Amino acid sequence: MSYENFIGEVKTVSRIQAIQGQLGWDQQVMMPPNGANARADTLAWLSGRAHETLTSKKMGDLISELEKNISKLDEDQKTNVIEMRRTFDKSTKLPAEFIEKVTKTRSKGMGVWAEARKNNDFNSFSPLLGELVSLAREKISYLDKGNTPYDTLLDDYEVGLTVEYLDPLFAELKEGLIEILNKIMNAKKQQISKLDMTFPVKNQEAFCLKISEQMGFDFNSGRMDTSSHPFSIGISVGDTRITTRYDENEPFSCLYAVMHETGHGLYEQGLPNEFALTPRGTAISLGVHESQSRLWENQIGRTEEFWKYSLPLFQNEFPDFPKDIDAAQMNLIANQVEPSFIRVEADEVTYNLHIILRYEIEKQLFNGTLDVNDLPKVWNEMFKEWFGLDVEDDSTGVLQDIHWSMGAFGYFPTYTLGNLYAAQLFESMKNEFENVNKMIEEGNWSPLLNWLREHIHEKGRLYNPSDLIENATGKKPSSAPFLKYLNEKYGRIYGF
């Protein structure tokens, strides 16, 4: 009975977290602004209750009892015990009042950030950001994990991730990206059409919904809404939410946000229902999660084959769209490479430079002496050095991302890990199927989803991220497949 009792406690924590997730979704999508303080209080209270259950003597005793006879458990049961031990040990070092304070501050932070971003006013956000940084430093003092303070924060999002691992990986990647970028900048300029018309929101929404459905997203078990920053969340079995945002002058922003978030949503919908509300039934890491979104957005969505299938659907929603813009031109538009300000709208070549820049800044915040008030200055100087662009305002600079308002320090590197994993997974898919490009062109995408279901989604937390990718591809994760993919793809497009 001890395992059943253990799972009962685990599911209690998960149910509270599901409520938190739904309230968090509502906060970003539907809640009126004046509800922010009350919502922050409710979320803080819920986090306290979840923390109490997670760190209770009962939970600790149940884990210890099961560990004594762990050889008698099957692999799925072992996974739940091992994962809960890791979570329990980390959580018991964090006082309940600290968890509640973090939750309340994060909840307030998102509202303050949204206003600051809208008003281009970093100074109105910096005091609360300073609180979040202080809380992150306090968390580091409780956990004290890793060779550097920042390692503790990285471990929250990708277990075992360290600066020692990332520094050489990112250095190699940055060198390869700059080499490819220079080739593109020196290549013969392409004649790229301008999307010089208005794309009404309702038509963008209709088109994006069709693409999301074609990818395999089940709208009987999910929905799509609008938020200031696109995101996805798996609240519970049968309830996965994605969001996007719209620009009537630029429909690609919405499309690729939807493909990205649908990729996340497919992962959530593909997790094994029989292990719902337990670690075995949840995603293993943010890096793996990001691999699912980037694979669909880039390896599938930013291709001429994708547009050969999708352009008729697009033209149906926008009948005034120029008929002389064919799939090849749409592919050129989707794959323009040019240094730009906004991370979420960056091309595949420069995107990871955005991530590495944030990584370097966060290292300075937690391993160095960078002060919160100096963030805009440091950001703008680094951006000018790396991208050759002068940041004109904080809304397109240091304020553009929601992550710091959520206290999500250490999150950004998982985006780059996701890109590396995605390229490696797609390389294996191309080896598995006779002609992936033809499958994409014909809209025959379900075998691709099924491959991901089998090799990634259904595994839940059965393996750690590195082993999961190695099992799926036969190789340890590396940057080589990603750099090879970029060289081949953009070599074709830009002729180098």
Query: Which DSSP symbol is given to 148?
Result: S
Q: In the structure encoding, which two tokens stand for residue 194, read together?
A: 């301008």
Q: How many CB atoms lie within 10 A of CB 433?
A: 15
By C-alpha distance, which of 263, 337, 333 is closest to 294? 263
Question: Where do the H-state alpha helices sit in 320-444?
Answer: 327-334, 348-367, 375-387, 413-432, 436-441
**Residues 283, 16: Cα–Cα separation, whole Å:** 18
Is residue 252 within 8 A of residue 333, CB to CB? The reply is yes
Structure tokens at 56: 């209770």
Which of 131, 13, 167 is CA-nearest to residue 80? 13
φ/ψ of 315, rounded to 5, equals -65, -30
Pairing of strands 232-236, 222-226: unpaired
| 31 vs 108: CA distance, rounded Å | 13
Q: Give the whole-angstrom CA distance, residue 450 versus residue 331.
A: 26
Least Cα distance to 244 among 208, 295, 202, 216 occurs for 208
- Which position has the token pair 């986090």? 47
User: Active site residue: 100, 131, 158, 261, which one?
Assistant: 261
Q: What whole-number distance in Å separates Cα of residue 40 and Cα of residue 42?
A: 6
Residue bearing tokens 């930013």: 302
For 404, the token pair is 């710091």
Instruction: Pick the closest to residue 456 from 296, 304, 314 (CA basis).
Output: 296
Distance CA 254, CA 224 (A): 12
297 is catalytic: no
d(CA 49, CA 12): 10
Selection from 19, 26, 4 nearest residue 80 by Cα:
4
Which of the residues are catalytic? 261
